Amino acid sequence: MFTTAEQQAVNDYVALVVAIGEDDPGLLFGWNNGALASFIASANAGVIAQPQPGFVSTIPGTMTVASIMHDVVVCVAQAGSGGSHADILVAPNTLQQYANALTRLRDVELDPFVQAHLAGLPAGATLATTFQLKDRTIVNAIPCARLGPLVPHRLAFA
């Protein structure tokens, strides 16, 4: 799920963060590069007439895998967390900040633009799998197993 470089980047970062634990969890993203590439191709094609949401930093037609990963993580981190790192980790968080981050993630997921471009993905495909980080090593990350939104919406972040 995570490359060696991603594992090392997260482990290096959390070694510097004072509060990662049961009461101060991190939110970790395991990005699905294939689904992201399909999502980006659909978004950049401009065939679906949905305006880009405010959290997307690129102009229409220029979105990249890296830019959407960054935009999602920054948007979620702005929900009140201690910050973000390497476009895969939102931490540290108090329990309230963690709940806010998950709520913001649902807001991103339910955005009409996001939902429109998820439609072209295979059934069950998500842009990322999310994990809760409760200690200082990525190998112990626990899948969030997020509940999907109500039909007709699709789960973007498992």
H or E segment and range at residue 113? helix 112-118
Q: What pLDDT sits at residue 17?
A: 64
Q: What pLDDT sits at residue 46?
A: 83
**First-residue to last-residue Cα distance in the chain:** 13
Question: Sign (positive/negative) of CA torsion 122, 125, 126, 127?
Answer: negative
Q: What pLDDT sits at residue 31?
A: 95
Q: Are 35 and 29 in contact (CB under 8 A)?
A: no
Q: What pLDDT sits at residue 8?
A: 77
Q: What pLDDT sits at residue 18?
A: 58
Residues of the chain with pLDDT under 50: none
Q: What pLDDT sits at residue 34?
A: 96
Q: Are 76 and 90 in contact (CB under 8 A)?
A: yes
